[in-house]
Amino acid sequence: MTSPDLASLDAFLARVVELSPAQFDAVRAAGRAIGPARRIAARKAAKLSASEFSPLDTRVRDRLQPHSAELMAFGDGALAAAVADTLFAAHAKAFGERLSVEEREILLQPFAAVLEVD
């Protein structure tokens, strides 16, 4: 198994935590436009083991936790959607070498509306 690209992931997360709830809502809408089936298939293509997924999940949740009250106040499901959308993109940032160009794009595209994502 390959090691995660933590530098790329951390740089991405540093930008993500600066997003407003309205920007996260734009990410959520962009993700819905792509469709859950395509996003789930792309995420699964990374083939993360439990020992790879758990620290990735923790890293994303720990970074978003300070913003949880603001996101929860924004509306129903805003916090859960922010975590899920960020976690999808985190797969591409941390384990992008396991993904095709198309799969990586599917996972990162929702953030393109609010961030310049490479």
pLDDT of residue 76: 87
DSSP-H helix ranges across the chain? 6-16, 21-34, 36-45, 50-64, 68-74, 78-95, 101-112
In this predicted structure, the answer to whether residue 113 has a pLDDT above a threshold of 80 is no
| Average pLDDT of the residues in 64-79 | 93
Q: What is the mean pLDDT of the chain?
A: 92
Burial readout 67-99 (b: 16 or more C-beta within 10 A, e: otherwise): beeebeebeeebbebbbbbbbbbbbbbbbbebb
Phi and psi, residue 79, nearest 5°: -65, -45
Helix axes 21-34, 36-45, angle to 10 degrees: 90
In this predicted structure, the answer to whether residue 116 has a pLDDT above a threshold of 90 is no
Q: What are 35's two structure tokens?
A: 């469709």
Between 43 and 2, whose confidence is greater? 43
In this predicted structure, the answer to whether residue 118 has a pLDDT above a threshold of 80 is no
Between 36 and 113, whose confidence is greater? 36
Taking only the tens place, the pLDDT of each residue in 2-34 is: 788 889 999 999 999 999 999 999 999 999 999
In this predicted structure, the answer to whether residue 62 has a pLDDT above a threshold of 90 is yes
Q: What are 50's two structure tokens?
A: 């439990």
**Dihedral sign computed on CA atoms, order 62, 15, 26, 40:** negative
| Average pLDDT of the residues in 78-83 | 95
